[in-house]
C-alpha cells in the first residue's frame, strides 16, 4: 500500500518568513495530493491540492509543487502570519477499489512567532 | 448548507464496553469514509462506503470494529469490547466520486478508561 513520509515534524518561523513542508510517497499510481490544515481540536481543512498532471499550483500565499519522478511534493507558505500556526498534513491517493482513500503523512506542527 | 456532522462529539467508555459512533454526511454524497486519528498522528483510513455498499474495510484494525450505512446516508461505526488502544478521534468524511475529500466531520473523541 501507499506510504507517505512528511518532514519536518515541527517548524518554527518568524512572522513574514516562508515555510516549506516536504512529503514523499511510495506508490507511483497515486495521482492526487491534498494538503490539510488542522487546528487544535478541529477537523482537517483542505487548503490546497494538486493532481499528478500538474507540477505546481498556487493560491495566494500557499503553493504546492509536485515531482512525480522523485515521488515528492511540497507545501510552500509565504509571508507567514500567526494564524497560519497549526498542524499541516500531506496526503496521497489514487483511484482504487477503496474509492479515493487518502494516506496521510504524520503531520508538521507549524509555529509562526511574532 | 449543513456540513458533515458526527455524534456524540465526546465519548468516554470503560474498557470492554461497546460504543456506536454516528456520521451524518452531506446530503446526496455518494462516498463516505471513516478515519481514525490517534493523538499526534495523521488520520488513518478505516473503511469506505459507496452508497450502502462497503467497498473497502481493509483499514479496520480488528473484528471488533464494524461499520454500516444501510440506506446509503447515515453511517454508524461500532466498536465492540473497547480497548485502551481504541482511544482516538474518529473522523467521518463524505464526498462525491472523484479525487478530493474536503468535507470532514468534527470527529468523535473516544476515550477508553
Which residues in chain A belong to E strands, given as ranges? 4-7, 10-14, 19-25, 32-38, 45-51, 56-59, 62-67, 72-77, 86-92, 103-104, 108-113
Residue B97, pLDDT > 80, answer no
Residues 30-49, chain A: which have Cβ within 8 Å of B? 31-32, 34, 42-46, 49
Inter-chain touch B48–A98, beta carbons under 8 Å: yes
3-state SS string for A58-81: EECCEEEEEECCCCEEEEEECCCC
Q: Which residues of B5-33 are buried (b: 16+ CB within 10 A; e: fewer)?
A: ebeeeebebeeeeebebebbbbeebebbb
Q: Sheet harboring B5-7: ordered strands across?
A: B5-7, B19-24, B75-79, B65-68
pLDDT at A1: 83
Inter-chain touch A89–B50, beta carbons under 8 Å: no
Contact criterion met (CB below 8 Å) for A2 and A104: no
pLDDT at A96: 57
- CB contact, 8 Å: A29 with chain B? no
Contact criterion met (CB below 8 Å) for A107 and A39: no
Q: What is the DSSP letter of A99?
A: B
- Residues B10-68: pLDDT tens digits? 999 999 999 999 999 999 999 999 999 999 999 999 999 999 999 999 999 999 999 99
- CB contact, 8 Å: A91 with chain B? yes
- Residues A3-48: pLDDT tens digits? 999 999 999 999 999 999 999 999 998 999 999 999 999 999 999 9
Amino acid at each position: 500500500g501507499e506510504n507517505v513520509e512528511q518532514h519536518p515534524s515541527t517548524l518554527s518561523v518568524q512572522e513574514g518568513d516562508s515555510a516549506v513542508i516536504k512529503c514523499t510517497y511510495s506508490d507511483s499510481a497515486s495521482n492526487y495530493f491534498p494538503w490539510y490544515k488542522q487546528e487544535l481540536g478541529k477537523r482537517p481543512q483542505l487548503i490546497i491540492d494538486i493532481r499528478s498532471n500538474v507540477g505546481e499550483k498556487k493560491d495566494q500565499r500557499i503553493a504546492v509543487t509536485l515531482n512525480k519522478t522523485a515521488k515528492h511534493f511540497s507545501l510552500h507558505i509565504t509571508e507567514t502570519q500567526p494564524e497560519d500556526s497549526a498542524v499541516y498534513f500531506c496526503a496521497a491517493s489514487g483511484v482504487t477499489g477503496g474509492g479515493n482513500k487518502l494516506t496521510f503523512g504524520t503531520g508538521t506542527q507549524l509555529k509562526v512567532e511574532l | 448548507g449543513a456540513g458533515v456532522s458526527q455524534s456524540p462529539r465526546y465519548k468516554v467508555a470503560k474498557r470492554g464496553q461497546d460504543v456506536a459512533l454516528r456520521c451524518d454526511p452531506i446530503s446526496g454524497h455518494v462516498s463516505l469514509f471513516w478515519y481514525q486519528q490517534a493523538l499526534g498522528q495523521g488520520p488513518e483510513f478505516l473503511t469506505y462506503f459507496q452508497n450502502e455498499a462497503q467497498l473497502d474495510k481493509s483499514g479496520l484494525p480488528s473484528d471488533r470494529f464494524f461499520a454500516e450505512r444501510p440506506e446509503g446516508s447515515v453511517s454508524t461505526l461500532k466498536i465492540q469490547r473497547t480497548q485502551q488502544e481504541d482511544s482516538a478521534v474518529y473522523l467521518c468524511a463524505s464526498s462525491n466520486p472523484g479525487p478530493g475529500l474536503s468535507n470532514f466531520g468534527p470527529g468523535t473523541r473516544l476515550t477508553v478508561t
